[in-house]
Amino acid sequence: MWPVLLAVQLLPILYKVYLVLFAGSSLNPFSEDVKRPPAPLVTDKEARKKVLRQVSRVPEKLDVVVIGSGFGGLAAAAILAKAGKRVLVPEQHTKAGGCCHTFRQDGLDFDTGIHYIGDMEEGSTGRFMLDQITEGQLDWAAMSSPFDIMVLEGPNGRKEFPMWGEKAYVWGLKEKFPQEEAAIDKYIKLVKEVSSGVIFVILLKLLRLRMVQLLNKCGLLTRFSPFLRATTQSLSEVLKQLPASPELQAVLGYIVVTYGVTPSHTAFTIHAVIVRHYLNGGFYPRGGSSEIAFHTIPVIWARGAVLTRATVQSVLLDSAGKACGVSVKNGQELVNIYCPIVISNAGLFNTYEHLLPEHACCLPDVKKQLAMVRHSLGVFSVFICLRGTKKDLGLESTNYHVHFDTDMDKAMERYLSAPREEAAAHIPLLFISFPSAKDSTWEDRFPDWSTMNVLMPTAYEWFEEWQEDPQGKRSSNYETLKNAFVEAAMLVVLKLFPQLEGQVDSVTGGSPLTNQFYLAAPRGACYGADHDLGRLHPYVIASMRAQSPIPNLYLTGQDVFSCGFIGVLQAAMLCSGAILKRNLYLDLKKLYSKIQAQKKKN
């Protein structure tokens, strides 16, 4: 027992030492409150193009290059710019934003990755962090209640389970499962207890890795908190131990689409954190998801630039093996851009397997990190243009999680093991959302039209043979396979929303190859490294940190913390904090206290 007691006492002490050592000598990016009232929505195409499709000269005397303009890269660049660093963000796509960018199809805007965010109410930690990075220019609208509906399609017909705010959510569950009230109460208690320890993810990434290794060897690493203990328990294991019936297990685990792993293969921790994230409902950026990049990039402009159509081919290393810049493709030529620090937002696999020189890829510490993780599932997307307003079509901002089996592990295994020609008949789940219904500005910009997105898990291997074919010019066999998934999705959509019959104007499908081309997502995996039990073990959490094994090369994005918008925001905080040698969380806390004190005076 004494080692456990010692460990419990030791960890807070280590944290306090960290606070002292990294109070910070560099400029504080959060020294003053920069939040101001949101400016009017910019809808002029040329004005938006100047921000999101910027092509300009490389600034002189760069301090940092950030590879990739997904939000993990943009947020890190913005924080560093606020701290006085000269920053350049090269982006391979024609538009900045990564999964936060939108594209236009048949005259309408479609989201690529942001479907809803939790904890964006005024006063929340996430909202405060974002306001200080974007100067308060992101305006968040609360979604309808229920924000999610889990639809269970089974042999005995359809059942619907609405997800409201916490009290209504629990009440609704108990109404549907009156014999399992104790299990529901225990589940909510576990979710709160475990998710409250998410701070340990940050702490593990801040402590010296040798200390974490020692704690792991002594068997103490999982004993500090319920959160760390739950990293070694699968979601399925926890739900069965409640105990809960198969149907209740399916309903409690409905949100697996947000992290892309079935209950037996992921840790309860990631599930608990995400469920807690949405207990107060969902939010959506007013003006659409491209507003995120649109209001982050101007912060970077103060000390640098974001360049689109600028594909980074490699990270440059000096004779000592330290990162010293990047090689960027400019037309048919390669241009070397030198700087003392490089940040990669391209993901662990892209960075280590494709951007590093061959000799660096073989370094033991690089290989060790790669061996800890694996690729996540690919995603197939369906983008649907609808004739009519949300009122005409009876649409709400609610998301629909459609499951076709109470046992998602078996359903997913059956689906992924099917021949690709038969796979569309075995789709285990669909995620359906209506971006146009979530955005209060939509009808002013696109009157009499609506949009729908459908997502489903997909095996990259089914599409792999066409990976070398030019985008938009693949064979008829590729289009036939794509159409099979599109048609399967549309059958479900029109069954669930019969009022849309005859109102569908166009339908477009995007395979994992589409994600690979536009988002540079390896194997079309939008979740980054798989959020399985292996990745979520405390030692692996500690190992996947902002500092890479290559000196002066840092990492940000969803492989550093977790998938999802808030996950990459935390990664950006960790990454920029490591570079600035500052505890940015402490800086934000001090700023918050300063603002609250000022409010009391007023």
- CA-to-CA distance for 549 and 552, rounded, in angstroms? 9
**pLDDT tens column, 263-287:** 999 999 999 999 999 998 999 999 9
Q: How high is the pLDDT of residue 231? A: 94
Block means of pLDDT (10 residues each) for the chain, 602 residues, are 37 51 74 94 88 79 96 98 96 91 90 91 93 96 94 90 90 95 97 94 91 85 87 96 96 95 97 94 94 95 92 96 94 91 97 95 95 95 97 96 97 96 96 96 95 96 92 90 97 97 96 91 90 95 96 97 95 97 95 92 81
Q: How high is the pLDDT of residue 465? A: 94
State the DSSP string of 421-432.
HHHGGG--EEEE
pTM of the model: 0.94
Q: How high is the pLDDT of residue 1? A: 31
The count of other CB atoms within 10 Å of the CB of residue 50 is: 14
Q: How high is the pLDDT of residue 561? A: 96
Does a cis peptide bond (omega within 30 degrees of 0) precede residue 243?
yes
- Which secondary structure element, helix H or strand E, spans residue 458, and what is its range? strand 449-458
User: Beta strands 399-403 and 148-154: pairing type?
Assistant: parallel
- Contact of 493 with 375, CB cutoff 8 Å: no
Burial 9-23 (b: 16+ CB within 10 A, else e): eebeeeeeebeeebe
- Tokens 């960027």 belong to residue: 328
- CA-to-CA distance for 241 and 236, rounded, in angstroms? 9
State the DSSP string of 468-484.
TSPTT---HHHHHHHHH
- Which secondary structure element, helix H or strand E, spans residue 505, and what is its range? strand 504-510
Q: How high is the pLDDT of residue 312? A: 96
- CA-to-CA distance for 420 and 430, rounded, in angstroms? 18
- Which secondary structure element, helix H or strand E, spans residue 251, and what is its range? helix 246-252
Return the bridge partners of 323, or none: 317
* Cα dihedral 257→109→87→544 (10° resolution): 10
Q: DSSP 3-state assignment of 548?
A: coil
